[in-house]
Amino acid sequence: MKRGSKLGFAVVLVATLGALAAGCVASQGGGAAGSAAQKVYVKPGEKDAYYAFLSGGHHGNIYVYGMPSCRHITTIPVFTPEPAVGYGNDEESKAMLGGFTWGDAHHPGLSETDGDYDGRWLFINDMPNARIARIDLKDFKTKQIFGPIPNISAAHACPFPTPNTEYVFAASRFSVPVPNRDVKVEDYAKDFRGIVAGVKVDPKTGTMSLGFEIMMPPFDWDLSDAGKGPSLGWQFFTCYNSEMAYDSLEIKASQNEMDYFAAVDWRAAQKAVDEGKATMINGAPVLDPAKVKGIAYLIPVPKSPHGVDVDPSGQYVCCSGKLQAEVSVYSFAKIKAAIDAAKFEGEKMGVPTLKFEDCLEAKVPVGLGPLHTQFDNKGNGYTSLFLDSQIAKWKVGPPWNVEDKIDVYYSIGHLMASEGDTRHPTGDYVVALDKLSKDRYLNVGPTHPEAAQLIDLRGPKMELLYDFPTYLEPHYAQMIKAEKLHPITVYPLAENDKPGVIKRAEDARVERKGNRVDVYGLVVRTHFTPDVIKVNEGDEVYFHWTNLEQDDDIAHGFGILWSSKNMQIEPGETKTIHWTADKTGIRPFYCSNFCSALHQEMQGYLEVRPRGTPQAAVQRPDAKTIAEINALLAAR
C-alpha cells in the first residue's frame, strides 16, 4: 500500500512535469527541450498556441487545427454545401454559393496590418471558378464569395493579401480568349490571354470589389506573393508555359530555359483605371500594358517556376524552379533599379522584360523539386522539395548556404511556418503539407488520407514532432498566434436585425400571401414556437427561425423529414430556409442538433392539406402557449 502510493506519487510528478513542459511549449513556443511527445502534448482543458487554417482543396472548405497538438477543431464550409449546419441550404448561404456546389480551395490568406496577421479575416480562392471568399474570424463564417471574376480562367495565383489588406489578387492559371469567343485552340498564341486582377478590400468591412485587370501574355500564371517593406506596392506572380503550348504541356511547356515572374505595380494599375485608361471587358476594367506603361514587368526565372515568396524583410523575392535544384533569389532593389533605368531586354505583348543577371541576387542549391519557401525569425528560409521529399533550411543572405535538411513522408507540396508570411515569423514550427501519405496510416482503401507533419524549428536542427492525417486536400495553409483571435461565442440578440427576426413569443406567427407562407418562429430549449404549422400542398414556405439562446454552444437544428432541408441556428442567430410543401399529409420536423436533456422532445408537425384548403391569413400560437414560452424564457 505504502509502496503503491509512493509509486503513484512518482507517476503523478513525472506526468505533471511533462505537462508543465508541454504547457510551456504550447503557450509560449519558448524552450525546445523535451521529447517530441511532450512538445505536441496539450493537456486536456488547455488550448493550443496557434490556429492553423488548412485549405480543403477540392473539398472546397477550410479546416481549422490547433498547433502544436495538431487537433482538428472545426471545418469552415466555404465553397461547398455542408448539410450538417445547413450551409448552402439556408437562403443566405445558398445565394452566396451562387448555384455552385463545388470549389477547389488552394490558398488561405489571412488579412494583415503593417505586414502582420491581424486576425480579422481569412480569404481563400476557388481556383476553377475564379472566386475569392472572405471568412470573418469573429465567428468563423463565410461572409462573402466574390466572383466568378470576369475574364479569369482559374484563379490559382490567389488571393495572397497585401500587407495592409488593400488588395487580394487573382491570376489566370489557364489562358482563354479575352473576351471569350469563337476561336480555334490552334490560335492560342494569337488569341488567348492571361489576366492578373487586383481585387480591392474595403478596410472597414472587408467587402471585396474589382479594382483592375491587366491583360497578360497567355502563360500559365501560377503563384503569387505580396511585396512588403521596400517592395511594398508590388505583387509578384510566377508563370510556366512561356512556350505558349496548348497541348502536351508536360513536354512542350518545359522547353524554355527561362520562364518568368511578373512584378505588378498595383498602385500604378489602380491609378490608370481611375484615370480612365482601361477598356471594359465583361464588366471588368482591363488595362493593356502595350498602351498603359509602368504597371507590369517580367523577370526571367529558370525552369518552370512554381512558388514565389518574399522574405520577411521584403528585400528578396525567392522563386522555385520546379525542374531545377535551386531557389533563385532576386533582389528587389536590383529589380527596381533596372525598372527605373528602363534597362529592358525586350517585351512580351507590351510587358517589358528585364535581364536575369540584372535582378538575380543568389542561387541557393536546395535540392530537387523546390516548390515553396517559408521563413523564420532567425534569417532562415525553408524550401519544400517535392522530388527529394525533404525540407531544406537555408541562410537568407550571404553565404546563401543550406544549413539543414529533414525528410518528410512523402512528396511535400506547400509548407506552412508559424506566422510565416508576415514581416515577423515566429520561428516555432513549420508544417509539411505532403501530397502522398502512402503507408503512414491505417489503410482505408485506395484513397489515402493527405499527410501533414509538424516540425519544430526552435533547435539548431529541424525536428519532426508529429504526423496527422487530413481530409482532401490541403494545398496551402497559414498559422496565426491564437492570442490574436477573439471569436464571439454567441450572436448578441440585441444586435440581431436580420430579416425575419422575432424576439418575443407574441410575435411568433405564420403569414400567408397567396401560396407564399412565412413562418416567423423561435427556437429555445426545448421548443419550436410555433410547433404546429398548417399549410397547403404547393405552398412555398419560408421558415425564419430565431434562436433566443444566449448561452455558449447552444445551437438548435431544424430538419424536415423526407427532405434535404436542414440547418443549424446558433445562439442569437436568425436563419431562413425555403421548403416547398410537396405532398399532402403530416410532415414532422425536429431539432437536429443535440441541445439539452429534452432535445429529443424538440419537434413539431407540418400539417399539409390539399391545395385550396381555406387557411387563415395569419396563424398565431394561442395565449397559453405564449405564456408557457414566456415563462420558459424568464426562467433561463
* Residue 632 CB, nearest approach to ligand RUQ (Å): 51
Residue 120's binding partner among ligand CUA, ligand RUQ, none (Cβ under 5 to 8 angstroms by kind) is none
Footprint on residues 217-276 left by ligand RUQ (CB under 6 A): 223
Dihedral-angle region of residue 538 (phi above 0 means left; psi in -120 to 50 means alpha; beta otherwise):
left
For the CB of residue 140, give the shortest distance to ligand CUA in the complex, in Å: 21
Half-sphere exposure of 161 (CA within 13 A, CB side): 31
- What is the nearest approach in angstroms of ligand RUQ to the Cβ of residue 452? 13
Interaction partner, residue 602 (ligand RUQ, ligand CUA, none; CB < 5-8 Å by kind): ligand CUA
Which class for 407: exposed (0-12), middle (13-18), buried (19 or more C-beta within 10 A)? middle
Give the nearest distance from C-beta 571 to ligand RUQ in angstroms.
37
Smallest gap from residue 548 Cβ to ligand CUA (A): 11
Lay out the site mask for ligand RUQ across 565-604 (x = CB under 6 A, - = otherwise): ----------------------------------------
C-alpha cell read off for 73: 477543431
Backbone angles phi, psi at 129, to 5 degrees: -100, 10
The residue ranges that bind ligand CUA (CB under 6 A) are 526, 556, 591, 593-595, 599, 602
Contact 64, 77 (CB under 8 A): no
Cβ count within 10 A of residue 446: 5
Does residue 59 touch ligand RUQ according to CB under 6 A? no
Measured in degrees and rounded to the nearest 5, phi and psi for residue 233 equal 100, -5
Cβ neighbours of residue 481 under 8 Å, at least 6 residues apart?
A: 49, 50, 117, 418, 419, 426
Residue with cell 422575432: 502
Name which of ligand CUA, ligand RUQ, none residue 593 binds, using a CB cut-off of 5 to 8 Å depending on partner kind: ligand CUA
Contact yes or no for 389/411 (Cβ under 8 A): yes
With beta carbons less than 8 A apart as the criterion, state whether 233 and 270 touch: no
Cβ neighbors of 117 (< 8 A, separation 6 or more) are 110, 111, 419, 421, 422, 478, 480, 481, 484
Give least dist CB 524 to ligand CUA, A.
Answer: 8
Cβ proximity to ligand CUA, 78 vs 548, nearer residue: 548
Taking the C-alpha atoms of residue 376 and residue 309, their distance in angstroms, rounded to an integer, is 13
Is residue 115 within a helix (H) or strand (E), and if so which, with residue range? none
Nearer to ligand RUQ, 63 or 476 (CB): 476
d(CA 199, CA 266): 10
Q: For ligand RUQ, which residue of 120, 306, 512, 525 counts as binding (CB under 6 A)?
A: 306
Residue with Cβ nearer ligand CUA (231 or 593): 593
Site string for ligand RUQ, 83-122 (x = CB under 6 A): -----------------------xx---------------
Residue 159, contacted partner among ligand RUQ, ligand CUA, none, CB below 5-8 A by kind: none
* Pattern 124-163, ligand RUQ, x by CB under 6 A: --------------------------------x-------
Question: How crowded is the C-beta side of 558, counted as CA atoms within 13 Å?
Answer: 33
502510493: which residue's cell? Answer: 5
Contact set for ligand RUQ, span 273-302 (CB under 6 A): none
User: From the list 414, 458, 556, 575, which residue makes contact with ligand RUQ (rule: CB under 6 A)?
Assistant: 414
Q: Which of 202, 601 has the CB closer to ligand CUA? A: 601
Q: Which is nearer to ligand CUA, 226 or 595 (CB)?
A: 595
Q: Is 159 in contact with 132 (CB distance < 8 Å)?
A: yes
d(CA 132, CA 286): 19
CA nearest 479: which of 398, 545, 415, 397?
415
C-beta of 591: minimal distance to ligand CUA in Å? 3
Q: How far is CA 414 from CA 7, 168, 372, 379, 452, in A?
A: 47, 20, 6, 20, 10
CB of 569 to ligand CUA, least distance (A): 9
Q: How far is CA 109 from the centre of its chain?
A: 6
Residue 559 contacts which entry, ligand CUA, ligand RUQ, none (Cβ below 5-8 A, type-dependent) = none
Which residue from 371, 406, 431, 602 is in contact with ligand RUQ, where contact means CB under 6 A?
Answer: 371
Cell 522574405, residue located: 311
Q: How far is the CB of 533 from ligand CUA (least distance, A)?
A: 17
Scanning residues 308 to 367, which ones bind ligand RUQ (CB under 6 A)? none
Nearest distance from residue 467's CB to ligand CUA, in Å?
Answer: 36
Rg (CA), the chain: 28
The residues in 441-500 that bind ligand RUQ, with binding defined as CB under 6 A, are 475-476
Give the integer Cα–Cα distance in Å for 114 and 269.
21
Which of residues 415 and 524 has its CB atom nearest to ligand RUQ in the complex? 415
When CB distances are held under 5 to 8 angstroms depending on the partner's kind, the choice from ligand CUA, ligand RUQ, none that residue 595 binds is ligand CUA
φ and ψ at residue 574, rounded to 5 degrees:
-120, 130
Q: Interaction with ligand RUQ in 552-571: which residues (CB under 6 A)?
A: none
Residue 112: CB minimum distance to ligand RUQ, A: 19
Kindly determine how many residues on this chain lie close enough to bind ligand RUQ according to the rule CB under 6 A. 11
Provide the binding-site residues for ligand RUQ, judged by CB under 6 A: 106-107, 156, 223, 306, 371-372, 413-414, 475-476
